Chains A and B, each alone.
Chain A
Amino acid sequence: MLHKKMSRTDYIVEGILLLIGIMTCICILYPIVNILAVSLSSDGYVLRHEVRVLPKGFTLQAYKDVLANGDILRSFGNSIYITMVGCGVSLIATFFAAYPVACCEFPGKKIYNIFVLIPMWFQGGMIPSYICIQKLGLINSYWSLILGALISSYHVLILTSFLRGIPRELLESARMDGAGELRVMFRIVAPLAKASFATIGLWVIAAHWNAYFGPLLYITDSSKFTLQQVLREIVLEANAAQFDLGTARPGQTSVKLADQIRYAILIVSIVPMLVIYPFVQKYFVKGVTLGAVKG
């Protein structure tokens, strides 16, 4: 249908849609643009609340201050490692958890299904989780973060409901041809579920990237800190400096730059997501063509 020529009403509708889209964008973007502008402005303008959309008294000082922290680069690498490995492992595990429910029949399926769902509403809390990780000897290992967040029942549910939409005949005919279950899973089902994998992958990446409390408890070796841990430290330091005693010496006060630093940190931590998102988005679009094959 995309190839069909557009009629005049189509153009009008498209115009209206575009307009709404732009308005939505402005509403969503304004605060973010404001953050960016503040992070690039100098003190006087920020303190007078004069910075709205464009930076005033342009300066990169806040970014210099943030990046001057030697731990930033290393923790950036750490976070990327955790996110990548975590995403890969989680996707496979989620697939294994969801596939049997969606595509197979086996005694006890219902119980298994409920077994997987219950943790959505009941959690033991941090203390038993900590003891669990500790007993497994995973303190200060990234596996504490990766394994601890390996499967989310919510993701299993989403994937299951997606996989249910795949025609059974497709699977049955493959099985008839003598394909093993693993083969069916990875050769036939997986390619059809690309869009769903992309979605869940994105969620997993976002969760790992933003994770704060897990690393806080399980990673105590400062050379293994994640980006969020280091950024939080800088923020806390900026805040602490405000409430801790300063001295009467002339010069710097801690009040200045505090907003800029806080916001520069936000921008720094969003950037990788900005890089990943369009890449993942491609797979949503690909889903359309795949859907056509499927019918």
Chain B
Amino acid sequence: MNKRKRSFKQLKKDMYRARFIYLMILPVVVWYIIFQYWPMSWLSISFFDYNMYKGFAGSEFIGFENFSRFFNGLDFWRLMRNVLLLNLYALAVGFPMPIIFALFLNEMRFKKAKKVIQTVSFLPYFISMVAFVSIVTEFLSPSTGLLADIMKFFGKEPVYFLGDAKYFRTIMVLSGLWQTMGYSAIVYLSALTSVDVNLYEAAMVDGANRFDRLWHITLPGITPTIVVMLILKVGSLVNANFEKIYLFQNSVNLEVSEVIQTWVYKRGMIKYDYSMGTTAGLFNGLLALILVIMANRLSKKYSDSAGIW
């Protein structure tokens, strides 16, 4: 009792001391409440038989009925498997590559070339998804594409890659890599600039070679960033790259390309259903949050870095 009182007093004191900090974060908090949390409160639509016009007051609270409708309506496990596999492949390839690319650029001493390569690698990010899809389709076309020409040159029969479900994930992962590798590398490049240069010099004196320096100084230097990025990436495991998947989807690859978001979207085209879309959004968010909490705990347990909170 007494202890609690004292700690309460202490808390008051601490809070008073931090008053300027509170003043500092006040606008930030206000912004978050208005632009993020107020809209977020609409997620509770998932628990109502929501009537858009009457609002919450006129809508009936139905608990988890929307969720059961959602899970029963879609072929849940098939869609979940698709999005997880797609993301795991993307994680396996798409996560390390930007790091390797950033390290590679960092190792390069020929400044001009480094600059050019970096600028070039950043460009694909600005190509709109629709144009991107048409470029990839053209590139992979068995009749007119460049890839077909190359295959013919090596005496192979061109393949209709987009017309066969088994190539779908590879196409998504590799094209995704092309699109975002340079962009994703930026954060690592920026982190690399803060690695302590003195450490390198010390290592040089000790006679460490290039690889040693990379392995023992550079990599540990950017590990905190890598951990943060990895945790975030895990959180996005359930988030499919909706627009891209939708544009690449065709009847033949449906069995591997249908994910929850495309399902919800297509259903919405037939029947506008706000609660269904919201339920899907809430479900995705919850799943992502659970994954992130797990990843965060693991990272705290097995590495020295702090995790994201």
Contacts and interface: CB of A to CB of B under 8 A. Distances in A.
Interface residues of B, number: 93
Interface string B128-142: 101100110011000
B84 interface: no
A47 B281 CA distance: 43
B98 interface: no
Interface string A272-295: 011001100100111110111011
Interface stretch (A14-22, A56-64, A68-76): A14-22
Interface of A: 1-2, 4, 6, 10, 13-14, 17-18, 20-21, 24-25, 27-32, 34-35, 49, 52, 93, 96-97, 99-100, 104-108, 110, 112-125, 127-129, 132, 136, 147-148, 150-151, 154, 157-158, 161-162, 164-165, 180-181, 195-196, 198-199, 202-203, 206, 209-210, 235, 262-263, 266, 269-270, 273-274, 277-278, 281, 284-288, 290-292, 294-295
B193 A195 contact: yes
B193 A291 contact: yes
Given A21-B108, A125-B277, A129-B39, A97 B127 contact: no
A28 B121 contact: yes
Contacts of B42: 124-125, 127-128
B20 interface: yes
A96 B26 CA distance: 10
Contacts of B121: 24-25, 28
Interface of B: 11, 14-15, 18, 20-22, 24-25, 27-29, 31-32, 34-43, 101, 104, 107-110, 113-128, 130-131, 134-135, 138-139, 144, 146, 178, 181-183, 186-187, 189-191, 193-201, 204, 210, 224-225, 228, 232, 235, 274, 277-278, 281-282, 284-286, 288-289, 292, 306, 308-309
A190 B58 CA distance: 51
Contact of B110 (A18, A30, A127): A18
Given A18-B110, A119-B36, 13 more contacts: A1-B197, A25-B117, A28-B121, A30-B146, A106-B14, A107-B18, A121-B286, A124-B38, A136-B34, A181-B21, A206-B125, A266-B128, A287-B190
Contacts of A106: 14-15, 18, 21-22
A92 to B, nearest CB: 10
Contacts of A113: 309
Nearest to B28: A97
26 contacts: A4-B204, A24-B101, A31-B124, A35-B127, A35-B135, A96-B27, A97-B25, A105-B18, A107-B14, A122-B43, A123-B36, A123-B281, A124-B43, A125-B39, A125-B281, A147-B31, A157-B232, A158-B228, A161-B225, A195-B190, A196-B190, A235-B130, A278-B115, A284-B190, A286-B193, A291-B197
